[in-house]
């Protein structure tokens, strides 16, 4: 049974330029900081209300909640696709407000997002889709070619490098989307149902990749309904219910990701 815990204690300190920043217990700047954040679309009702939490560097969370609970909205806020309509949100120490949009590209380059609907460009091959973040960074074509091939091999798509998304199955598209999110080794990885279209074996394989990334310091948030995987990996979860966020502890001791499937 899941026990709902009180919201995480947050210590406020003054950051540079007098800005109020959230600091975690290790003294490092938090990757994401929500303070009383609310979100509504247009004049509709609030879909998220009074959300307060922070993500320390190197943390790993599952994001759970029923369909329509606001998981994708929360991920969109963290990926700077949306600005909160209320409260204060900071990502890598920068306020997510439209006034700061010039700073967003730099922040986004440190965030990898796996979208629920993949958002692959249909006229580009798997290789070209995965290469996009590196092209934006201006990396040399030789480097891009090497990295993209390695990663596509790893996600098991070495035979589909030149295939275009419309010719790929759902699970293959998902793997291309994951490869694109990971290609520039993000500091924050946000994945919206990344295992929704693959079997348990492939899901575990993909999650292992996320675990490996987490071990080298990437903060990971995975929105999922897959209770089996959550229990297996045992990381704490951020649970959305009634427009509010609740922090739930790890279900069991955390797996290294190397256990047999």
Partner 1 sequence: MSKKYKPRKLPFAYDTSSLFLPWIMMLMVFLATLSLAGALAVQNMTAKWSSSMTGSLTVQVLPPKEFAGADMTERAKSATMVEVNKAADFLKDVDGVKQVKIVPLADLQELLKPWLGEAIMDEGFPLPRLIDVTVDDGDNVDLNKLKEELVKVAPNASLDVHRVWLAKLMNLTTTLNLTALGILGLVLLTTSFAVIYATVTSLAVHRPAIELLHLIGARDGYIASLFAQRTMTFSFGGAIIGAVISVPIVIVTAFLAKSLEVGMIADGWLGGWDWFYVLVVPFIAALVSGITAYVTVAFKLRRTL
- Residue 124, interface with partner 1 (CB under 8 A)? yes
Candidates 31, 91, 131, 151: give the one binding partner 1 (CB under 8 A).
131
Candidates 144, 220, 221, 233: give the one binding partner 1 (CB under 8 A).
144
Nearest by Cα to 21 from 8, 110, 29 = 29
- Residue 101, interface with partner 1 (CB under 8 A)? yes
Strand arrangement, sheet containing 111-114: 111-114, 188-192, 219-223, 60-65, 237-241, 244-248
Nearer to partner 1, 65 or 133 (CB): 133
Alpha-carbon distance of 113 to 122, in angstroms, equals 18
How many residues touch partner 1 under the rule CB under 8 A: the total is 32
Q: Beta-carbon neighbour count of residue 136 at 10 Å?
A: 12
Give yes or no for a contact between 192 and 71, defined as CB atoms under 8 angstroms apart. Answer: yes
- Residue 79, interface with partner 1 (CB under 8 A)? yes
Q: What's the token pair of residue 26?
A: 């290790």
- Residue 80, interface with partner 1 (CB under 8 A)? yes
Least distance to partner 1 from the beta carbon of 241, Å?
27
Candidates 35, 71, 90, 108: give the one binding partner 1 (CB under 8 A).
108
Contacts of 131 (CB under 8 A, 6+ apart): 144, 148, 183
Candidates 21, 56, 139, 161: give the one binding partner 1 (CB under 8 A).
161
Instruction: Give, in degrees to the nearest 5, the angle at Cα 28 between 26 and 34.
Output: 105
- Residue 104, interface with partner 1 (CB under 8 A)? yes
| H/E stretch holding 60 | strand 60-65
Nearest by Cα to 119 from 177, 73, 200 = 177
Nearer to partner 1, 77 or 230 (CB): 77
Least distance to partner 1 from the beta carbon of 160, Å?
10
- Residue 128, interface with partner 1 (CB under 8 A)? yes
| H/E stretch holding 40 | strand 32-40
- Tell me the C-alpha to C-alpha distance, in Å, between residue 77 and each of 22, 38, 59, 66, 84: 17, 10, 18, 18, 7
Candidates 11, 119, 146, 185: give the one binding partner 1 (CB under 8 A).
119
Nearer to partner 1, 189 or 211 (CB): 189
Nearer to partner 1, 184 or 195 (CB): 184
Candidates 2, 5, 14, 136: give the one binding partner 1 (CB under 8 A).
136
- Residue 173, interface with partner 1 (CB under 8 A)? no
Q: What does the binding site for partner 1 look like in residue numbers (CB under 8 A)?
A: 79-83, 98, 101, 104-106, 108-109, 113, 119, 121-124, 127-128, 131-133, 135-137, 141, 144-145, 161-162, 180
């Amino acid at each position: 049974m899941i026990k709902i815990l009180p919201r995480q204690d947050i210590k406020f300190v003054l950051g540079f330029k007098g800005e109020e920043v959230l600091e975690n217990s290790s003294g490092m700047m938090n990757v994401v900081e929500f303070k009383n954040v609310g979100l509504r679309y247009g004049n509709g009702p609030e879909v998220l209300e009074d959300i307060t939490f922070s993500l320390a560097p190197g943390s790993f969370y599952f994001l759970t909640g029923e369909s329509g609970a606001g998981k994708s909205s929360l991920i969109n806020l963290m990926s700077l696709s949306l600005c909160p309509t209320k409260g204060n949100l900071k990502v890598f120490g920068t306020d997510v407000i439209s006034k700061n949009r010039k700073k967003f590209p730099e922040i986004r380059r440190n965030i990898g997002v796996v979208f629920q609907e993949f958002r692959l460009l249909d006229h580009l091959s798997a290789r070209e889709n995965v290469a996009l973040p590196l092209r934006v960074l201006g990396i040399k074509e030789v480097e891009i070619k090497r990295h993209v091939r390695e990663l596509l091999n790893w996600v098991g798509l070495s035979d589909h490098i030149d295939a275009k998304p419309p010719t790929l199955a759902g699970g293959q598209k998902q793997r291309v989307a994951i490869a694109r999110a990971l290609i520039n080794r993000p500091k924050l990885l946000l994945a919206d149902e990344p295992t929704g279209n693959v079997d348990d074996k492939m899901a575990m394989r993909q999650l292992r990749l996320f675990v490996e990334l987490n071990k080298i310091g990437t903060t990971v948030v995975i929105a999922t309904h897959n209770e089996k995987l959550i229990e297996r990996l045992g990381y704490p979860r951020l649970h959305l219910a009634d427009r509010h966020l609740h922090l739930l502890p790890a279900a069991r001791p955390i797996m290294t990701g190397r256990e047999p499937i």
